[in-house]
């Protein structure tokens, strides 16, 4: 089976879409012959004959978040795949699929709608509609993504649910990681946040929440808001308890996860579609506090079981939940174990890859069918709703 993967970028470029693409390819490389086409970050085309062959197409930079890699569709046409797998949104990949032979099945993997560039939808929308009509199957990471996307919801009969996954073993501590985690524990409760420092991540509300809590906040990631967030911590008089760590190595990241008491994903808009970092924290047996977005974020983190789900942009509610978990070590342990079990049952990279392989096989052998029966989707949603009701609603707790 020859599968052409069309993405934005590839490892070592860091991002949610890139991580999923890499995990699928590396997990299935012994069963599928892949060719990956992505944009380069420089003005030359480079070919990497690694275990998974990658072509990085010359780019002049970005325009409206889209790489200006004009020859991308031409490179995509050089290969003769049995199936094309498109990671979107990505106009270059979508155009390449539309230019392909109509007999080649196209799997569209939905990562996000266009959020920041909505003013361009008048131009991009009809093009995207044409792509979805061409797609043989649309893969979404949770049932909620079918409902929240005005494009995907029109094609629900084509949809398959394949949750994102992480390699759980990567988040186990080795001896050096254990020493690093021990060094990070200084007696003060630790709260961890991992992600780009951009508006939709809502980090400012986490900083404000820390004002009323005797804890240390560690922030891993960089972005355009780093300076203003540092100023906010300074203004609030907690700069000595807020650490901006920038980029850290994969090994150190695992140590930081294990050293924290609570992990927080404080995102405030639908630009946060899933939150893979939640799975990483849960793999390390840490309770998660996330926000009640209509995306897959609160579908992953079960309120009252693996952590808490709070109202977006509500620093007071966030502070209450953090303090409650800090005050209850046994509850942290129970939620951490529940989170680890949830990842092992539903969100490993191996399960994601095998489910994707099944999608490939179905597209090559029979018409696409809806991947998750309605009964199963409803059961999952009812479980989430019931857990919130049991704990008194979003962001509330008893005891």
Q: Give the DSSP per-residue string, 55-110.
A: EEE----EETTEE--TTHHHHHTTS--SEEEEEES-HHHHHHHHHS-TTS-EEEEE
Confirm whether 378 is domain-assigned. no
pLDDT at 374: 35
CATH of the domain at 279: 3.40.50.2000
Confirm whether 359 is domain-assigned. yes
> If DSSP codes are grouped into helix, strand and coil, which group holds residue 191?
strand
Instruction: Tell whether 133 and 201 lie within a shared domain.
Output: no
Q: Tens of pLDDT along 163-219?
A: 999 999 999 999 999 999 999 999 999 999 999 999 999 999 999 999 999 999 999
> Which residue, among 125, 155, 166, 151, has the nearest Cα to 274 in the 3D structure?
166
- Do 7 and 18 meet the contact criterion of CB atoms below 8 Å apart? yes
Confirm whether 211 is domain-assigned. yes
Give me the chain's average pLDDT, please: 89
> If DSSP codes are grouped into helix, strand and coil, which group holds residue 291?
strand
- Of 182-191, 201-210, 347-356, 364-373, which gets the smallest average pLDDT? 364-373
Instruction: Tell whether 173 and 317 lie within a shared domain.
Output: yes
pLDDT at 39: 94
Residue 116 has pLDDT above 70, yes or no: no
pLDDT band of 386, cuts 50, 70, 90: very low
Task: Say how far apart CA 48 and CA 38 lie, in whole Å.
Answer: 12
Confirm whether 138 is domain-assigned. yes
Confirm whether 379 is domain-assigned. no
Confirm whether 227 is domain-assigned. yes
The residue count for the chain: 399
Structure tokens at 10: 């590839």
Strands 190-194 and 216-220 come out as parallel
Instruction: Tell whether 51 and 149 lie within a shared domain.
Output: yes
Task: Say how far apart CA 222 and CA 212 lie, in whole Å.
Answer: 25
Instruction: Tell whether 177 and 277 lie within a shared domain.
Output: yes
Q: Tens of pLDDT along 306-337?
A: 999 999 999 999 999 999 999 999 999 999 99
Task: Say how far apart CA 165 and CA 26 lie, in whole Å.
Answer: 13
Instruction: Tell whether 16 and 118 lie within a shared domain.
Output: yes
Could you tell me how far CA 59 lies from the centroid of its own chain? 25
Instruction: Tell whether 174 and 87 lie within a shared domain.
Output: no
Task: Say how far apart CA 84 and CA 93 lie, in whole Å.
Answer: 10
Residue 399 has pLDDT above 50, yes or no: no
Q: Tens of pLDDT along 143-160?
A: 999 998 888 999 999 999
For residue 245, CA distances in Å to 81, 200, 220, 285 come to 43, 19, 5, 22
Instruction: Tell whether 259 and 315 lie within a shared domain.
Output: yes
Q: Tens of pLDDT along 246-303?
A: 999 999 999 999 999 999 999 999 889 999 999 999 999 999 999 999 999 999 999 9
> What is the percentage of the chain residues whose pLDDT exceeds 90?
79
Instruction: Tell whether 336 and 324 lie within a shared domain.
Output: yes
Average pLDDT over residues 121-138: 86
- Of 10-14, 48-52, 323-327, 385-389, which gets the smallest average pLDDT? 385-389
* Rg of the chain, C-alpha, whole Å: 21
Please return the burial class of 381, using the count of CB atoms within 10 Å of its CB with bins 0-12, 13-18 and 19+: middle
Task: Say how far apart CA 292 and CA 49 lie, in whole Å.
Answer: 43
Instruction: Tell whether 336 and 198 lie within a shared domain.
Output: yes
Task: Say how far apart CA 167 and CA 277 lie, in whole Å.
Answer: 12
pLDDT at 323: 98
Instruction: Tell whether 150 and 181 lie within a shared domain.
Output: no
Task: Say how far apart CA 201 and CA 291 lie, in whole Å.
Answer: 10
pLDDT at 118: 58
Number of domains in the chain: 2
Structural domain span for residue 68:
2-165+353-368
pLDDT at 115: 58
Confirm whether 376 is domain-assigned. no
Q: Residue 72: how many CA atoms within 13 Å on its side-chain side?
A: 28
Task: Say how far apart CA 263 and CA 286 lie, in whole Å.
Answer: 7
- Do 277 and 285 meet the contact criterion of CB atoms below 8 Å apart? no
Instruction: Tell whether 41 and 189 lie within a shared domain.
Output: no
Confirm whether 273 is domain-assigned. yes
Instruction: Tell whether 38 and 132 lie within a shared domain.
Output: yes
Strand partners, 138: 108, 159
């Amino acid at each position: 089976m020859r599968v052409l993967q069309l993405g934005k970028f590839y490892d070592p470029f860091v991002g949610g879409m890139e991580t999923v693409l890499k995990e699928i390819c590396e997990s299935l490389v012994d069963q599928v012959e892949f060719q990956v086409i992505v944009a380069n970050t420089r003005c030359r085309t480079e070919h990497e004959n690694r275990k998974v062959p990658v072509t990085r197409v010359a780019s002049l930079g970005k325009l409206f978040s889209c790489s200006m890699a004009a020859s991308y569709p031409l490179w995509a046409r050089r290969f003769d795949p049995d199936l094309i797998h498109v990671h979107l949104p990505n106009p270059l990949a979508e155009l390449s699929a539309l230019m392909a032979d109509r007999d080649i099945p196209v799997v569209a993997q939905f990562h996000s709608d266009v959020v920041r560039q909505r003013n361009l939808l008048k131009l991009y929308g009809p093009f995207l509609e044409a792509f979805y009509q061409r797609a043989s199957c649309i893969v979404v990471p949770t049932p909620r993504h079918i409902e929240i996307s005005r494009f995907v919801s029109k094609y629900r009969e084509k949809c398959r649910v394949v949750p994102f996954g992480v390699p759980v073993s990567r988040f186990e501590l080795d001896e050096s990681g254990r020493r690093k985690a021990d060094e990070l524990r200084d007696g003060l409760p630790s709260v961890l946040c991992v992600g780009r420092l951009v508006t939709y991540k809502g980090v400012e509300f986490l900083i404000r929440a820390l004002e009323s809590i005797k804890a240390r906040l560690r922030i891993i990631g960089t972005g355009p808001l780093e300076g203003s967030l540092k100023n906010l911590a300074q203004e609030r008089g907690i700069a000595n308890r807020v650490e901006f760590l920038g980029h850290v190595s994969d090994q150190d990241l695992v140590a930081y996860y294990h050293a924290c008491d609570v992990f927080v994903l404080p995102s405030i808009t639908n630009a946060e579609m899933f939150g893979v970092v939640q799975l990483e924290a849960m793999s390390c047996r840490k309770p998660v506090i996330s926000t009640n977005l209509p995306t897959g974020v609160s579908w992953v983190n079960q309120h009252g079981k693996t952590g808490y789900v709070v109202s977006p942009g509500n620093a007071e509610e966030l502070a209450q939940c953090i303090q409650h978990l800090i005050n209850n070590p046994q509850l942290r342990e129970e939620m951490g174990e529940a989170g680890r079990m949830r990842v092992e049952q539903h969100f490993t990279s191996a399960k994601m890859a095998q489910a994707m392989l099944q999608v490939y096989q179905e597209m090559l052998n029979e018409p696409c069918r809806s991947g998750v029966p309605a009964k199963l989707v409803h059961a999952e949603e009812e479980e989430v709703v019931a857990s919130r009701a049991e704990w008194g609603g979003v962001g509330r707790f008893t005891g």
